[in-house]
Amino acid sequence: MEQNVQEELWSVTIDGNEIKVKPGTTVLQAARMIGENVPPAMCYYSKLEGSGGKCRTCLVKVSQGSTKDPRPMPKLVASCRTTVMDGMVVQNTTSPEVKEARAGVVEFLLLNHPLDCPICDQAGECHLQDLGYEHGKQKTRYEFKRRTFERIDIGPYIQLHMTRCILCYRCVFTCDQITNERVHGILNRGDAAEISTYIEKAIDNDFSGNVIDVCPVGALTDKTFRFKSRVWFTKPVQASCNCGKCSGKVTLWYKGEEVIRVTARKDQWGEVESFICNTCRFERKKTSDWTIEGPTHVDNKSVISANHYELKYDQPVIPQKTSLHADHPSFKEDKKLLN
Protein backbone atom coordinates (compact mmCIF):
# COMPACT_ATOMS: atom_id res chain seq x y z
CA MET A 1 0.00 0.00 0.00
CA GLU A 2 1.32 3.41 -0.96
CA GLN A 3 1.90 5.70 1.95
CA ASN A 4 1.47 9.42 1.61
CA VAL A 5 4.35 10.55 3.79
CA GLN A 6 4.44 14.32 4.11
CA GLU A 7 7.94 15.67 4.09
CA GLU A 8 8.79 17.53 7.26
CA LEU A 9 9.71 21.16 6.73
CA TRP A 10 11.25 23.54 9.23
CA SER A 11 10.60 27.22 9.43
CA VAL A 12 13.47 29.71 9.64
CA THR A 13 13.27 33.51 9.64
CA ILE A 14 16.21 35.51 8.28
CA ASP A 15 16.09 39.29 8.63
CA GLY A 16 12.30 39.10 8.97
CA ASN A 17 11.76 36.85 5.91
CA GLU A 18 10.35 33.44 6.76
CA ILE A 19 10.92 30.31 4.69
CA LYS A 20 10.23 26.60 5.16
CA VAL A 21 13.14 24.32 4.36
CA LYS A 22 14.10 20.68 4.66
CA PRO A 23 15.97 19.66 7.83
CA GLY A 24 19.71 19.71 7.12
CA THR A 25 19.55 22.93 5.12
CA THR A 26 22.15 25.46 6.21
CA VAL A 27 21.29 29.05 7.12
CA LEU A 28 23.24 30.25 4.06
CA GLN A 29 21.30 27.93 1.74
CA ALA A 30 18.02 29.12 3.27
CA ALA A 31 19.09 32.76 2.77
CA ARG A 32 19.91 31.97 -0.87
CA MET A 33 16.45 30.45 -1.29
CA ILE A 34 14.90 33.67 0.05
CA GLY A 35 17.22 35.59 -2.27
CA GLU A 36 17.49 38.71 -0.11
CA ASN A 37 20.07 39.71 2.46
CA VAL A 38 22.28 36.76 1.59
CA PRO A 39 25.47 36.56 3.66
CA PRO A 40 28.65 36.86 1.58
CA ALA A 41 30.57 33.59 1.12
CA MET A 42 34.24 33.59 0.23
CA CYS A 43 34.99 29.92 0.81
CA TYR A 44 31.66 28.05 0.61
CA TYR A 45 30.91 26.79 -2.91
CA SER A 46 27.72 24.83 -3.41
CA LYS A 47 29.29 22.69 -6.17
CA LEU A 48 32.18 21.59 -3.98
CA GLU A 49 31.53 19.05 -1.26
CA GLY A 50 32.94 19.94 2.14
CA SER A 51 33.64 23.58 1.27
CA GLY A 52 32.93 26.35 3.75
CA GLY A 53 33.92 27.11 7.31
CA LYS A 54 37.26 28.70 6.42
CA CYS A 55 36.77 32.43 5.87
CA ARG A 56 34.13 33.58 8.40
CA THR A 57 32.65 36.18 6.04
CA CYS A 58 29.25 34.51 6.30
CA LEU A 59 28.86 35.10 10.06
CA VAL A 60 25.29 35.66 11.28
CA LYS A 61 23.56 36.12 14.61
CA VAL A 62 21.08 33.47 15.74
CA SER A 63 18.72 35.43 18.00
CA GLN A 64 16.43 32.44 18.59
CA GLY A 65 17.80 28.92 18.42
CA SER A 66 14.49 27.14 17.75
CA THR A 67 10.86 27.04 18.87
CA LYS A 68 11.68 24.35 21.43
CA ASP A 69 14.73 26.17 22.79
CA PRO A 70 14.39 29.88 22.00
CA ARG A 71 17.65 30.91 23.66
CA PRO A 72 19.96 32.87 21.33
CA MET A 73 23.28 31.31 20.33
CA PRO A 74 26.01 32.83 22.48
CA LYS A 75 28.33 33.71 19.58
CA LEU A 76 27.99 34.63 15.93
CA VAL A 77 28.01 31.51 13.75
CA ALA A 78 29.19 30.69 10.22
CA SER A 79 25.95 30.46 8.23
CA CYS A 80 27.49 28.07 5.69
CA ARG A 81 28.13 25.53 8.45
CA THR A 82 25.08 26.03 10.66
CA THR A 83 21.99 23.99 9.89
CA VAL A 84 18.57 25.46 10.59
CA MET A 85 16.35 24.37 13.46
CA ASP A 86 12.56 24.65 13.40
CA GLY A 87 11.61 28.18 14.48
CA MET A 88 15.14 29.56 14.24
CA VAL A 89 15.44 33.34 13.92
CA VAL A 90 18.56 34.70 12.24
CA GLN A 91 19.89 38.22 11.80
CA ASN A 92 22.23 39.10 8.99
CA THR A 93 22.19 42.69 7.77
CA THR A 94 19.82 43.72 10.57
CA SER A 95 22.43 43.05 13.24
CA PRO A 96 25.04 45.76 13.99
CA GLU A 97 27.08 43.04 15.71
CA VAL A 98 27.27 41.05 12.44
CA LYS A 99 28.26 44.13 10.47
CA GLU A 100 31.03 44.93 12.91
CA ALA A 101 32.29 41.34 12.91
CA ARG A 102 32.24 41.23 9.12
CA ALA A 103 34.27 44.44 8.97
CA GLY A 104 36.75 42.72 11.28
CA VAL A 105 36.90 39.67 9.00
CA VAL A 106 37.57 41.92 5.99
CA GLU A 107 40.34 43.67 7.88
CA PHE A 108 41.80 40.28 8.76
CA LEU A 109 41.60 38.99 5.16
CA LEU A 110 43.33 42.13 3.99
CA LEU A 111 46.22 41.84 6.46
CA ASN A 112 48.43 40.25 3.85
CA HIS A 113 46.37 40.71 0.73
CA PRO A 114 47.94 43.45 -1.42
CA LEU A 115 45.76 46.33 -2.59
CA ASP A 116 46.93 45.84 -6.15
CA CYS A 117 43.46 45.96 -7.69
CA PRO A 118 44.62 48.45 -10.36
CA ILE A 119 46.83 45.76 -11.89
CA CYS A 120 45.03 42.60 -10.78
CA ASP A 121 43.16 40.64 -13.47
CA GLN A 122 40.42 39.75 -10.99
CA ALA A 123 39.48 43.41 -10.39
CA GLY A 124 35.80 43.86 -11.14
CA GLU A 125 35.05 40.21 -10.41
CA CYS A 126 36.78 39.92 -7.05
CA HIS A 127 34.60 39.01 -4.11
CA LEU A 128 37.15 40.42 -1.67
CA GLN A 129 37.13 43.73 -3.54
CA ASP A 130 33.32 43.86 -3.23
CA LEU A 131 33.49 42.96 0.42
CA GLY A 132 36.18 45.60 0.96
CA TYR A 133 33.93 48.29 -0.55
CA GLU A 134 30.96 47.16 1.52
CA HIS A 135 32.64 46.63 4.88
CA GLY A 136 36.23 47.76 4.64
CA LYS A 137 37.89 50.51 6.60
CA GLN A 138 40.08 53.18 5.08
CA LYS A 139 43.01 52.35 7.30
CA THR A 140 44.56 49.20 8.63
CA ARG A 141 45.87 48.79 12.16
CA TYR A 142 48.43 46.24 11.04
CA GLU A 143 52.02 47.39 11.44
CA PHE A 144 54.05 44.26 10.79
CA LYS A 145 55.81 43.07 7.68
CA ARG A 146 53.42 41.44 5.25
CA ARG A 147 53.84 37.99 3.74
CA THR A 148 55.10 38.17 0.19
CA PHE A 149 55.74 35.43 -2.37
CA GLU A 150 57.25 35.19 -5.82
CA ARG A 151 54.75 34.44 -8.55
CA ILE A 152 54.62 30.75 -9.41
CA ASP A 153 53.84 29.21 -12.78
CA ILE A 154 51.51 26.26 -12.34
CA GLY A 155 51.70 24.59 -15.73
CA PRO A 156 51.32 26.34 -19.06
CA TYR A 157 48.02 28.12 -18.35
CA ILE A 158 47.84 29.11 -14.70
CA GLN A 159 49.80 31.54 -12.58
CA LEU A 160 49.66 31.60 -8.80
CA HIS A 161 50.03 34.86 -6.87
CA MET A 162 50.20 33.40 -3.40
CA THR A 163 50.35 36.92 -1.95
CA ARG A 164 46.69 37.38 -2.91
CA CYS A 165 45.46 33.99 -1.66
CA ILE A 166 43.00 34.01 1.25
CA LEU A 167 43.34 30.25 1.87
CA CYS A 168 39.71 29.47 1.12
CA TYR A 169 40.59 25.91 -0.05
CA ARG A 170 38.21 26.10 -3.03
CA CYS A 171 40.96 25.29 -5.55
CA VAL A 172 42.08 22.35 -3.44
CA PHE A 173 38.53 20.94 -3.32
CA THR A 174 38.16 21.54 -7.07
CA CYS A 175 41.26 19.54 -7.93
CA ASP A 176 40.34 16.89 -5.42
CA GLN A 177 36.80 16.44 -6.67
CA ILE A 178 36.84 17.04 -10.41
CA THR A 179 40.27 15.91 -11.54
CA ASN A 180 41.81 12.46 -11.44
CA GLU A 181 44.72 13.24 -9.25
CA ARG A 182 45.36 16.11 -6.96
CA VAL A 183 48.86 17.47 -7.09
CA HIS A 184 48.41 20.60 -5.08
CA GLY A 185 47.24 21.49 -1.64
CA ILE A 186 47.89 23.69 1.37
CA LEU A 187 51.28 23.25 2.97
CA ASN A 188 52.10 24.30 6.52
CA ARG A 189 49.73 25.83 9.03
CA GLY A 190 48.62 29.21 10.37
CA ASP A 191 50.68 32.18 9.28
CA ALA A 192 52.97 29.95 7.23
CA ALA A 193 50.18 28.22 5.26
CA GLU A 194 50.43 28.40 1.49
CA ILE A 195 49.02 26.83 -1.63
CA SER A 196 51.70 24.73 -3.27
CA THR A 197 52.11 22.19 -5.99
CA TYR A 198 55.06 20.45 -4.34
CA ILE A 199 58.01 22.17 -6.01
CA GLU A 200 55.92 23.87 -8.66
CA LYS A 201 54.81 20.61 -10.21
CA ALA A 202 52.41 21.49 -12.99
CA ILE A 203 48.71 20.86 -12.48
CA ASP A 204 48.38 18.92 -15.68
CA ASN A 205 44.94 17.56 -16.34
CA ASP A 206 41.96 18.45 -18.47
CA PHE A 207 39.94 20.25 -15.82
CA SER A 208 42.69 22.15 -14.00
CA GLY A 209 41.60 25.53 -15.41
CA ASN A 210 38.53 25.48 -13.16
CA VAL A 211 40.70 26.52 -10.22
CA ILE A 212 40.84 29.95 -11.88
CA ASP A 213 37.05 30.26 -11.87
CA VAL A 214 36.56 29.14 -8.28
CA CYS A 215 39.28 31.40 -6.82
CA PRO A 216 37.39 34.29 -5.18
CA VAL A 217 40.40 36.62 -5.50
CA GLY A 218 43.14 37.06 -8.10
CA ALA A 219 45.46 34.41 -6.69
CA LEU A 220 45.00 31.97 -9.59
CA THR A 221 44.96 33.72 -12.93
CA ASP A 222 44.59 32.67 -16.55
CA LYS A 223 47.93 33.20 -18.31
CA THR A 224 46.19 33.50 -21.70
CA PHE A 225 44.14 36.48 -20.39
CA ARG A 226 46.56 38.20 -18.02
CA PHE A 227 46.85 41.94 -18.55
CA LYS A 228 44.87 41.82 -21.80
CA SER A 229 42.01 44.01 -20.63
CA ARG A 230 40.12 45.31 -17.64
CA VAL A 231 37.08 43.07 -17.38
CA TRP A 232 34.62 45.99 -17.64
CA PHE A 233 35.93 46.79 -21.13
CA THR A 234 34.95 43.32 -22.35
CA LYS A 235 31.63 42.01 -23.60
CA PRO A 236 30.51 38.67 -22.15
CA VAL A 237 28.50 36.39 -24.44
CA GLN A 238 26.93 32.97 -23.77
CA ALA A 239 28.16 30.32 -26.21
CA SER A 240 28.24 26.56 -26.53
CA CYS A 241 29.93 23.81 -28.51
CA ASN A 242 29.66 20.04 -28.82
CA CYS A 243 32.47 19.11 -26.51
CA GLY A 244 33.11 15.47 -25.77
CA LYS A 245 34.74 16.23 -22.41
CA CYS A 246 32.51 18.82 -20.75
CA SER A 247 29.10 20.48 -21.13
CA GLY A 248 30.60 22.92 -23.66
CA LYS A 249 28.51 25.74 -22.13
CA VAL A 250 30.73 28.76 -21.61
CA THR A 251 30.96 32.52 -21.48
CA LEU A 252 33.13 34.16 -24.14
CA TRP A 253 34.66 37.50 -23.22
CA TYR A 254 35.09 39.71 -26.26
CA LYS A 255 37.33 42.70 -26.72
CA GLY A 256 36.24 44.10 -30.06
CA GLU A 257 36.08 41.11 -32.39
CA GLU A 258 38.55 39.05 -30.44
CA VAL A 259 37.72 36.40 -27.81
CA ILE A 260 40.24 37.17 -25.11
CA ARG A 261 38.96 34.81 -22.45
CA VAL A 262 36.72 31.77 -22.08
CA THR A 263 35.24 30.93 -18.67
CA ALA A 264 32.58 28.66 -17.28
CA ARG A 265 29.17 30.28 -16.84
CA LYS A 266 28.49 31.61 -13.38
CA ASP A 267 25.23 31.81 -11.45
CA GLN A 268 23.92 34.70 -9.35
CA TRP A 269 26.18 33.67 -6.46
CA GLY A 270 29.28 33.88 -8.64
CA GLU A 271 29.59 30.10 -8.72
CA VAL A 272 30.34 28.02 -11.80
CA GLU A 273 27.21 26.40 -13.26
CA SER A 274 29.12 23.49 -14.75
CA PHE A 275 32.86 22.95 -14.84
CA ILE A 276 34.51 23.15 -18.28
CA CYS A 277 37.55 21.42 -19.78
CA ASN A 278 40.85 23.06 -20.63
CA THR A 279 40.32 22.60 -24.37
CA CYS A 280 37.19 24.79 -24.25
CA ARG A 281 38.83 27.26 -21.90
CA PHE A 282 42.26 27.72 -23.42
CA GLU A 283 42.16 26.41 -26.97
CA ARG A 284 38.84 27.51 -28.45
CA LYS A 285 39.37 31.22 -28.83
CA LYS A 286 37.77 31.76 -32.21
CA THR A 287 34.13 32.80 -32.71
CA SER A 288 33.84 30.04 -35.34
CA ASP A 289 34.52 27.44 -32.61
CA TRP A 290 31.23 28.35 -30.92
CA THR A 291 27.49 28.68 -31.34
CA ILE A 292 26.62 32.08 -29.90
CA GLU A 293 23.50 32.10 -27.73
CA GLY A 294 23.31 35.78 -26.77
CA PRO A 295 24.63 38.34 -24.31
CA THR A 296 25.41 37.22 -20.78
CA HIS A 297 23.18 38.75 -18.14
CA VAL A 298 25.32 41.00 -15.97
CA ASP A 299 24.04 42.05 -12.57
CA ASN A 300 23.75 45.82 -12.65
CA LYS A 301 25.55 46.01 -9.31
CA SER A 302 28.64 44.59 -11.01
CA VAL A 303 31.25 46.93 -12.43
CA ILE A 304 31.15 44.77 -15.59
CA SER A 305 27.72 46.23 -16.29
CA ALA A 306 29.31 49.64 -16.98
CA ASN A 307 28.43 50.52 -20.58
CA HIS A 308 26.32 47.37 -20.97
CA TYR A 309 22.66 48.19 -21.25
CA GLU A 310 19.88 45.68 -20.96
CA LEU A 311 16.45 47.09 -21.79
CA LYS A 312 13.02 45.58 -21.44
CA TYR A 313 12.27 46.40 -25.08
CA ASP A 314 14.20 47.15 -28.25
CA GLN A 315 15.20 50.76 -28.56
CA PRO A 316 14.56 52.53 -31.85
CA VAL A 317 17.80 54.13 -33.00
CA ILE A 318 16.01 57.40 -33.84
CA PRO A 319 12.46 57.72 -32.45
CA GLN A 320 10.09 58.20 -35.38
CA LYS A 321 6.58 59.52 -35.09
CA THR A 322 5.04 57.36 -37.77
CA SER A 323 5.87 53.80 -38.73
CA LEU A 324 6.73 50.75 -36.75
CA HIS A 325 7.70 52.50 -33.56
CA ALA A 326 4.59 54.61 -33.04
CA ASP A 327 3.36 52.27 -30.29
CA HIS A 328 6.74 51.84 -28.79
CA PRO A 329 6.76 52.56 -25.02
CA SER A 330 9.72 54.93 -25.34
CA PHE A 331 7.95 56.79 -28.14
CA LYS A 332 4.84 57.26 -25.95
CA GLU A 333 7.11 58.72 -23.28
CA ASP A 334 8.59 61.11 -25.87
CA LYS A 335 5.12 62.19 -26.88
CA LYS A 336 4.16 62.98 -23.29
CA LEU A 337 7.23 65.18 -22.98
CA LEU A 338 6.46 67.03 -26.24
CA ASN A 339 2.86 67.79 -25.27
Binding site for ligand SF4 (CB under 6 A): 165-171, 195, 214-217, 219-220
Helix, strand or coil, per DSSP, at residue 68 = coil
Q: How far is the CB of 168 from ligand FES (least distance, A)?
A: 7
Contact partner at residue 54 from ligand SF4, ligand FES, none, CB < 5 to 8 Å by partner kind: ligand FES
**Contact call for residue 58 and ligand FES (CB under 6 A):** yes
Locate the DSSP E strands across the chain: 10-14, 17-21, 59-64, 77-78, 88-91, 152-154, 158-160, 185-187, 194-196, 220-222, 235-240, 249-255, 258-264, 291-295
Nearby residues of 19 by Cβ (< 8 Å), 6 or more positions away: 11, 12, 13, 30, 33, 34
Q: Does 52 bind ligand FES (CB under 6 A)?
A: yes
d(CA 189, CA 182): 19
Q: Provide the residue type at 1 as one letter.
A: M
| Residue 170 interface partner, choices ligand SF4, ligand FES, none, CB cut-off 5-8 Å depending on type | ligand SF4
Q: Under the criterion CB under 6 A, does residue 41 sit at the interface with ligand FES? A: yes
Residue from 53, 87, 104, 114 in contact with ligand FES (CB under 6 A): 53
168 CB-contact burial (10 Å; exposed 0-12 / middle 13-18 / buried 19+): buried
Q: Which of residues 75-104 bind ligand FES (CB under 6 A)?
A: 78, 80
Measure the N-to-C terminal CA separation of the chain; round to a whole number of Å: 72
Could you count the other beta carbons within 10 Å of the beta carbon of residue 124? 18
Determine if 42 is a binding residue for ligand FES (CB under 6 A).
Answer: yes
Q: How far is the CB of 227 from ligand SF4 (least distance, A)?
A: 19
**∠ at Cα 208 (203, 212), nearest 5°?**
110
> CB of residue 195 vs ligand FES: minimum separation in angstroms?
17
Indicate the residue among 77 and 303 with the shorter CB distance to ligand FES: 77
Cα–Cα distance between 128 and 106 in angstroms, integer? 8
Query: Amino acid identity of 136?
Result: G
47 near ligand FES, rule: CB under 6 A: no
CB 52, min distance to ligand FES, A: 5
**290 binding partner (options ligand FES, ligand SF4, none; Cβ < 5 to 8 Å by kind):** none
Least CB distance from residue 8 to ligand SF4, whole Å?
36
With CB under 5 to 8 Å by kind, the binding choice for 21 among ligand SF4, ligand FES, none is none
To ligand FES, the closest distance from the beta carbon of 10 in angstroms equals 20
C-alpha distances in angstroms, 230 versus 105, 119, 131? 27, 9, 19
Q: How far is the CB of 90 from ligand SF4 (least distance, A)?
A: 26
Count of C-beta atoms within a 10 Å radius of residue 281: 27
Q: Which stretch binds ligand FES (CB under 6 A): 48-56, 265-273, 283-291, 299-307?
A: 48-56
- Judged by the rule CB under 6 A, the positions of this chain that interact with ligand FES are 41-44, 52-58, 78, 80
